[in-house]
Amino acid sequence: MKSVVLYDAGKTELRDMPVPEIGDGDILIEVKAAGICGGDIHFYDGTMEGMGEYPMILGHEFAGIIAKKGKNVDPCWKIGDRVVSENTGYACGRCPACQEGNFVSCEQRGTLGVSMDGGFTKYVKIPEQILRLYPNCLFHIPENIGFDEATVLEPSSNAYKAVIQEGGIMPGDVVVVFGAGTLGLQSVQLSKIAGASKIILIGLSGDKTTRFPLGQKLGATHCLAADETDNIVSVVRELAGPIGVALTIDAAGAPICLYQATEITRSIGRVIRIGMNDAPYGYGMNHLNEKSLIIRGHMGYNTVSWRQCIALAEAGILDLKSIISHHMPLDEFDKGFQITISQEATKVILTPIE
């Protein structure tokens, strides 16, 4: 099966890989669509090394149908079922996170497409171990949601956890979102769904052509290009008005964004950091004390995030489609990565080839 594999740090190619063997407790998914994530770029350009053994098939946002199942698999999963993977491929079941049922935060988590074979291919195996420990690693896709859209449930669940579960948003809140990539845009949309009164999206001038208009479509009331705005902190405070900014989502990750987030956010407000960047922080931190701010590091989602997003999408409230900008066959993955890096694309969907 034709697969996009990472075979060394920063080295990817289309390679023929064997179809996984299925045991009595495993499920085999036939992939119908897989999305390129900003996180995949780190493997593609070599800023991050592969986390599993090489060669490894990339792709952690994928949906498809159940093509095969072992005889001991739970009867709730049937051949032909339309499913989306939440991409947990292994959890230890014993660490403090697993003890609380937070398998996505397992200290030894195996992630399909990150440390285990993923979805940029034709077939993916969901192993028996994870299906037994964590049956919610797979979800049925409602009939009115296409495979392409279903792949967007992953980043949407991510944003749901940040805005709703961690951000604790209340209807009427003013929300600021740094970063206009998929997670920033879906954070805008979930803030809108949750009843934010104002949503201020902060990006860069390069976002003005496609990402800002999309942000406005999804609910942003104001879009600001940080590189073209003098004193962005006072501009945002002015826009927010006396109610102040209750929640800032940092989907950008640069230290300056986190610092500005602590300046922008009101007293006893929350800052959720989704974006990642290794640069040293380098700014003062007294705002944390002075304003009793909560800063929370964010990673992933949990079953509740997925369940709620699926319900919102099925009801036509959560838009999964608008974020998808390009479709291409798997063998054009290089182009897909390039337009993701250049930010021409908001979300590229790859489809398997024979």
Q: Which stretch binds Zn ion (CB under 5 A): 6-14, 15-23, 32-40, 248-256?
A: 32-40
Site string for Zn ion, 73-112 (x = CB under 5 A): ------------------xx--x--x-------x------
Report the residue number, 92 or 341, with the smaller CB distance to Zn ion.
Answer: 92
For the four alpha carbons of 18, 24, 30 and 34, in that order, the dihedral sign comes to negative
| Closest-CA residue to 181 (of 88, 253, 78) | 253
Residue of the chain from 37, 57, 188, 318 that contacts Zn ion (CB under 5 A): 37
Q: Is 352 helix (H, G, I), strand (E, B) or coil?
A: coil
Contact 220, 186 (CB under 8 A): no
* Total interface residues for Zn ion by CB under 5 A: 7
What's the min distance (Å) between Cβ of 129 and Zn ion? 12
CA distance 347 to 327: 9
Report the residue number, 106 or 194, with the smaller CB distance to Zn ion.
Answer: 106
What's the min distance (Å) between Cβ of 154 and Zn ion? 6
Report the residue number, 84 or 98, with the smaller CB distance to Zn ion.
Answer: 98
Report the residue number, 174 or 272, with the smaller CB distance to Zn ion.
Answer: 272
Q: Residue 349, interface with Zn ion (CB under 5 A)?
A: no
Q: Give the DSSP per-residue string, 222-264.
A: EEEEGGG-TTHHHHHHHHH-TT-EEEEEE-S--HHHHHHHHHH
Q: Residue 39, interface with Zn ion (CB under 5 A)?
A: yes
| Closest-CA residue to 111 (of 87, 138, 86, 136) | 87
Q: Residue 114, interface with Zn ion (CB under 5 A)?
A: no
Contact 236, 169 (CB under 8 A): no
Residue numbers of the site for Zn ion (CB under 5 A)? Answer: 37, 39, 91-92, 95, 98, 106
